Amino acid sequence: MASEQEVAAVGKILVNPKQDLTTRFRALFTLRNVGGPEAIEWISQTFVDDSALLKHELAYCLGQMQDERAIPTLETVLKDTTQEPMVRHEAGEALGAIGNLEVLDILKEYSEDPVIEVAETCQLAVRRLEWLTSGGDQNGEEGTDGNPYCSVDPAPPAQRKTVPELRTQLLDESLPLFERYRAMFALRNLGTEEAVLALGDGLQCSSALFRHEIGYVLGQIQHPASIPQLQAALELDGENAMVRHECAEALGSIGKEECMKILERYRKDTERVVKESCEVALDMLEYENGTQFQYADGLLRLQGEQ
């Protein structure tokens, strides 16, 4: 257990814009693992930062922690139109992830937001909460494959089907996004090369939110078969920065030599979230390939300084 002083010491690193972004990310993941009201408070205070990448990760972590004490902060961020769409999106998704029905009204309201990524996120979150109310998560749904990644997802997996059937559901733009996400997570849970390639085809779909989520799940699966499609999306001129960011991070989590080379090339990208994603991804790889024992090492680093 971390003491309040230790949490505060890590929190001060997170809020400090003079610290390296990579160090701040490590501090964030430490706070996420520690949890509790003080950790939530430090994370909440950091939404004044000017890195959209960091702020979207704050919201993501608050959602994954599934602590209702984060709801007021997440609502404020969702409502704040001066926050970048990617940050507001992640706040909306996090409100859905926490699973408390009291946020249903605000999510319905922002389902009409003029920023399409925000609107689509809130529509999905409403569907997730409705699914929870209908008892959808009781003992997992029958006939679905479980999530091996321990993430709280914006939609449950679809019923088990063949990969071609799931691929059709994934790519059918006439279906509600929620149904397509269900196919996405079912394919992810399968995790075979065939499933990975079907997911990669989703990078051609019209919704940027959908494409970014494809990048996210490909990063979870870490299958090298997805490298060419991820690379193509990262390199695509005019692709939405949120999508490029997610593809860069996915390449980082796959972590092969060729992925590192690609990330090195985009480390100086003119799009700030892409550039920062490459920096953070390369830092994580350094950890994976190196001798550092723990990535979320904010507490260890403190001890080293004492």
The three-state secondary structure class of 193 is helix
Q: How far apart are CA 68 and CA 99, in angstroms?
A: 9
Contacts of residue 209, defined as CB under 8 A and 6 or more positions apart, other chains included, come to: 89, 116, 117, 120, 121, 177, 242
Check whether 223 is labelled as a binding-site residue. Answer: no
* Listed residue (97, 46, 92, 89) closest to 67, CA to CA: 97
Check whether 6 is labelled as a binding-site residue. Answer: no
For the chain, where are the E strands, in sequence order? Answer: none
Check whether 246 is labelled as a binding-site residue. Answer: yes
Cβ atoms 25, 283 nearer than 8 A? yes
What's the length of the chain? 306
Check whether 57 is labelled as a binding-site residue. Answer: yes
Interaxial angle between packed helices 85-98 and 241-254, expressed in degrees from 0 to 180 and rounded to the nearest 10: 60
The CA R_g of the chain, rounded to the nearest whole Å, is 19
Check whether 245 is labelled as a binding-site residue. Answer: yes
Check whether 258 is labelled as a binding-site residue. Answer: no
Cβ atoms 251, 227 nearer than 8 A? yes
> What are the tokens at 118?
């925000």
Furthest-apart CA pair in the chain: how many Å?
59
Residue stretches of the annotated binding site for Fe cation = 56-57, 89-90, 212-213, 245-246
Residue stretches of the annotated binding site = 56-57, 89-90, 212-213, 245-246
